[in-house]
């Protein structure tokens, strides 16, 4: 299916860590992801409608501002987050740095994220909310928790007026 960057609707985006290594667990890495999302949101002014950070991938529901190509937003996020995670790994987890090292064009590089992402155009408001709910229920489907409110790294608690919110969600 063809994707359009200029339709003004929400986008559901999924991308994973290199070789789907489950490293996005615990406060250190999840907070680096949240800080990176906020930094890119400040630069590009997109609206964050929903999210979930899973151990080896991320789902975002966003509305880009002024028809900005989603590839630019995700590219910037991957750049910012990868640099911060690389710094943290060099200090806290040398063995993981090796797992994210790849050879491209005969050069060794740190590659935290898979090169591509999955992108879905939400062509209606109901489609957008379906994807937000998908984010919230992903940890339950994976049997990581018993209910969505137990997973701290999603927008579920924001929508349910809980106090343990990790990231502000934008109004639409």
pLDDT in the model for residue 1: 47
The stretch 124-134 carries a mean pLDDT of 97
* Band (111; pLDDT cuts 50, 70, 90): confident
For residue 6, what pLDDT is reported? 58
Q: Mean pLDDT throughout 73-101?
A: 86
Q: Which residue has the higher pLDDT, 104 or 25?
A: 25
**Token output for 9:** 């609707």
| pLDDT of 7 strictly over 70 | no
Give the chain's domains with CATH numbers. Answer: 11-159 (3.30.70.1290)
Q: What is the C-alpha separation between 45 and 57, in angstroms, rounded?
A: 23
pLDDT at residue number 42: 93
Helices (H), the chain: 26-44, 70-92, 94-99, 125-141, 156-159
Higher pLDDT, 163 or 112: 112
More confident residue, 100 or 126: 126
Structure tokens at 39: 């930094």
Q: What is the mean predicted confidence (pLDDT) over 15-35?
A: 94
End-to-end CA distance of the chain: 26
Beta-bridge partners for 108: 103
Q: Give residues with Cβ within 8 angstroms of 145, minimum separation 6.
A: 139, 151
What local confidence, expressed as pLDDT, does residue 5 receive? 60
- Whole-structure pTM value: 0.91
The reported pLDDT for the residue numbered 108 is 85
Specify the DSSP element, H or E, that contains 60.
strand 57-63
CA angle 101–32–78, rounded 5-degree value: 50
pLDDT in tens, 30-71: 999 999 999 999 999 999 999 999 999 999 999 998 778 888
Q: The tokens 């590009």 sit on which residue?
A: 44
Instruction: Judge contact between 99 and 19, C-beta under 8 A.
Output: yes
Q: Which is it for strands 57-63 and 107-110: parallel, antiparallel or unpaired?
A: unpaired
* CB distance 142 to 54 below 8 Å: yes
Kindly state the average pLDDT of the residues 13-38. Answer: 94
Percent of the chain scored above 70 by pLDDT? 94
Q: Give every CB contact of residue 60 below 8 A, 6+ residues apart in sequence.
A: 11, 12, 13, 14, 37, 48, 50, 51
């Amino acid at each position: 299916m063809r994707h359009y960057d200029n339709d003004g609707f929400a986008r559901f985006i999924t991308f994973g860590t290199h070789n789907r290594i489950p490293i996005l667990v615990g406060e250190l890495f999840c907070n680096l992801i949240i800080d990176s999302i906020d930094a890119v949101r400040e630069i590009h002014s997109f609206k964050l409608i929903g999210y979930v950070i899973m151990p080896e991938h991320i789902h975002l529901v966003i509305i880009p501002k002024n028809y900005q190509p989603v590839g630019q937003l995700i590219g910037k996020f991957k750049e910012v987050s990868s640099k911060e995670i690389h710094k943290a790994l060099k200090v806290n987890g040398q063995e993981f740095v090796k797992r994210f090292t790849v050879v491209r064009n005969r050069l060794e590089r740190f590659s935290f994220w898979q090169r591509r992402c999955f992108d879905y155009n939400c062509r209606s408001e109901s489609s957008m909310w379906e994807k937000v709910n998908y984010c919230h229920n992903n940890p339950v489907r994976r049997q990581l928790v018993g209910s969505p409110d137990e997973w701290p790294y999603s927008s579920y608690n924001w929508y349910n007026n809980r106090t343990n919110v990790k990231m502000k969600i934008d109004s639409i």
